[in-house]
Every structure is written in C-alpha cells, then in structure tokens.
Amino acid sequence: MFQEGDIVEIPLPDGRTAIGWILHLSTHFKNAVGFVVFGIKGEKSDQIVQDADAGQPLSLKVLGPLYTHVDNMKHCGWKTFAHQPISDSQRLLTKREVGGGVYVGDEYVGSVHEVGDPNLQPMRTMGMPIVYGEIEKAFGKREPT
C-alpha cells in the first residue's frame, strides 16, 4: 500500500493535515516506518531558508525522521498523493542508533562507538498520539477561529 518515497497527507485530530514523506519501510525492524513531516497543509512555514539575492527557497527545516508502525498509517487514514524517489543522500536521513548499533535504512553500519557520530539520534517508534504531539510541538496548535 505505502512505498518509500510516498508523499502523504497525515490527518491530525484537530482537523488539520500534515504533509509527510516516507523515507523508510523496514523489514528488519518489523513494520517500522520512518518519515519526515514538512509542515501543515495550507499553512505558511517560517522554516523556509531563502536565497538573500534571488528570494528563492533553498531549504526547508523538517520534523523527523519519526518512526511509527505501518498499521498506524492505515488506521489513521494516511493518503498518498505524490511520490518522490529517495536518493542515497536523502536515505542518510534514516541514520539512527538502535540498541547500540547504527543503521541507515535496514543496513547495519557499525556500533555507536565505531561510527562515533555525536549527532546520532535513537530510533524511537511512536504511537500516533505521540506523533501528533511532536507535530504540534514543531508546527504549533490550530489557531482558534
């Protein structure tokens, strides 16, 4: 149903929709899904870095990668609306620590000690209430109307 590279709509409990990108569907860590969140559909982001001269967007800060179970995506009504293949450099976004080992995607890279990356984050698989909370912390609460 879902594939690596799918760009998805993530319905939020407050009625908004977050936009995410699936970076990794794990077979090694049974049914774990790694994804990033770009922002909230229809809301302007203040996280865009623009070229000072041309005013063109250069980059966008994203939330994640976050990890959840594939069944959460189905149960909570995620919908694929586009697809962008994952390059090798983008796959590095999945680099994480799991039980003292370092993985990129499902590939074991070495021990945390061997890799020696001080910015390495642990893989924490989250239920959807935690995912929703992380999205709210990163992109704010819905403004009262």
What would the pLDDT profile of 56-106 be if each residue is shown by its tens digit?
A: 545 467 899 999 999 999 999 999 999 999 999 999 999 999 999 999 999
Structure tokens at 110: 């070495």
Residue 19 lies inside a defined structural domain of this protein = yes
Burial class (CB in 10 A: 0-12, 13-18, 19+), 126: middle
Distance between CA atoms of residues 56 and 53, nearest Å: 8
**Predicted confidence (pLDDT) per residue in 112-129, tens digit:** 999 999 889 999 999 999
Residue 40 lies inside a defined structural domain of this protein = yes
Contact 6, 24 (CB under 8 A): no
pLDDT at position 60 is: 61
Q: What is the pTM of this model?
A: 0.86
Averaged pLDDT for residues 20-24: 97
pLDDT at position 115 is: 94
Residue 12 lies inside a defined structural domain of this protein = yes
Closest by CA to 30, choosing from 143, 123, 138, 128, is 123
Residue 100 lies inside a defined structural domain of this protein = no
Residue 60 lies inside a defined structural domain of this protein = yes
pLDDT at position 145 is: 62
Residue 30 lies inside a defined structural domain of this protein = yes
* Buried b / exposed e along 77-101 (16+ C-beta atoms within 10 A): ebeeeeeeebeeeebebbbbbbeee
Contact 6, 83 (CB under 8 A): yes
Q: Which domain holds residue 26?
A: 6-87+125-139
Residue 101 lies inside a defined structural domain of this protein = no
Distance between CA atoms of residues 34 and 20, nearest Å: 10
pLDDT at position 49 is: 46
Question: Is 35's pLDDT higher than 70?
Answer: yes
Residue in the block written with tokens 């041309």: 54
Contact 124, 67 (CB under 8 A): yes
The total domain count for the chain is 1
Burial class (CB in 10 A: 0-12, 13-18, 19+), 1: exposed
Residue 49 lies inside a defined structural domain of this protein = yes
